[in-house]
Structure 1
Amino acid sequence: MSEKIRLEPSETLIQSVSQLYKALGDPTRLKILTALTVSELNVGAISEKIGLEQSAVSHQLRVLRTNHLVKSRKEGKTVYYSLDDDHVMAILADTFEHVSHAVEDCQEPS
């Protein structure tokens, strides 16, 4: 049996969580994050993988970095992106699992 957790977040924390979910609410950003679950990638590789122009990918990566969802490292002139930490992977996995269950529930015959 799972315990209920009582949350009493501050207004600042609520605003930050809201911003995080706004960042996650864009299909392109979700595609980028999903691509980064496999390995770190540069902008060109992400662009190729999700079928979007590099400039658009760069813009979305900026949003993801601002929200601490991805991090970058530079190797020579190339910048590689990866998920910021294990929490991001957990958020994605939990979200996709939750939505998958919700979709399955909606598809069951009445």
Structure 2
Amino acid sequence: MAAWSVTPDGLAIAIRLTPRGGRDAVDGVETLADGRQVLKARVRAAPSEGEANAALVALLAEMLAVSRSQVSLTAGASARLKRIVVRGDGEALAARLQKRICEI
């Protein structure tokens, strides 16, 4: 299973987030023990009071050149594994994400 998929309303992304990771960055794609693929991301923010989630939303919005309001956390608010939905043209967002991952 790919780390992201195009949906009718945009792009769904599975993410493994590391809070207090030293810098805000996406580190590529990782395959979990169960075979699922996730996008590896890290943020400087602590995991308290939603700070790490907010930093992740900001990081993805900047990376995909969309507004923060287009990026929403749909699952995993208090877990390392999260699901993010980015509203917009799913095909264009997927292409942009793929290009950015290849640059890593």
The structure in which a higher percent of residues are helix is: 1
The structure in which a higher percent of residues are strand is: 2
TM-score, structure 2 as length reference: 0.31
| Greater C-alpha Rg | 1
TM-score, structure 1 as length reference: 0.30
